[in-house]
Copies of this chain bind each other. A is one copy, B any other.
Amino acid sequence: MSTDSANNRDRSASTRERLLAAAVEAFATSGFAGTTTRDIASRAGMSPAAVYVHHATKEDLLFEISRRGHQSAVEIIEGASRRSQDPVVRVRTMVEEFSRWHAVNSRVGRIVQYEFDALTPEHRAEIAEYRRAIEALMREALEAGVEAGVMTVSDTKGTSLALLSLSIDLVRWYHPGGSTTPDDIAALHGELAVRMVGATA
């Protein structure tokens, strides 16, 4: 950290973070199509030219917001899936943590869901990989429960999509700071998940 090049790297990384934060603000306020690079630059206290120097087109920034969001969601649900050997506790924990994450990150969640079609086909394909990974983790958790004889699930694919819907749809209506906390939502959704998988143990 004492060399000039390390300092430059730090400065460049923090500029990138400032740009991403400004892009989140701008997209949340005006939508992707309603936002210009100039808007993002101005929110970040930079000139439009400086934004281009950072190779940051509007779509690059949307992709980075989306990629980070999905990566973090995959990590959360993967971590939750490793926390218990008991299949029912595992599914409950996965749904709890996935819902808590969406409540805490509801603003980024809305951008990521609502502006998915604004990504380039290549970027959409990359984000779709994360989504498939999340769906696969949930489906595997249900299959393990059925296999162990502690869940009754007629359609594991459809039921895992439904479990994920509980968490994902809350970005539509949840705004932090109200009387319902992320913990409240996590606890309720965990309870509902146990019922949805027909837990018999």
Residues of A in contact (CB 8 Å), total 34
Q: How many copies does the complex hold?
A: 2
User: Per-residue 0/1 for A134-174: is the Cβ within 8 Å of any B Cβ (1 yes, 0 no)?
Assistant: 00000000000000000000110011011011101110110
Q: Is A14 an interface residue (CB 8 A)?
A: no
Report A70-101 residues with CB < 8 Å from chain B CB: none
Question: A113 to B172, Cβ gap below 8 A?
Answer: yes
Q: Is A198 an interface residue (CB 8 A)?
A: yes
Which chain B residues lie closer than 8 Å to A192 at the CB level? Answer: 159, 162, 196
Option from B30, B161, B185, B196 in Cβ contact (under 8 Å) with A158: B185
Which chain B residues lie closer than 8 Å to A115 at the CB level? Answer: 31
CB distance from A132 to the nearest CB of B (A): 11
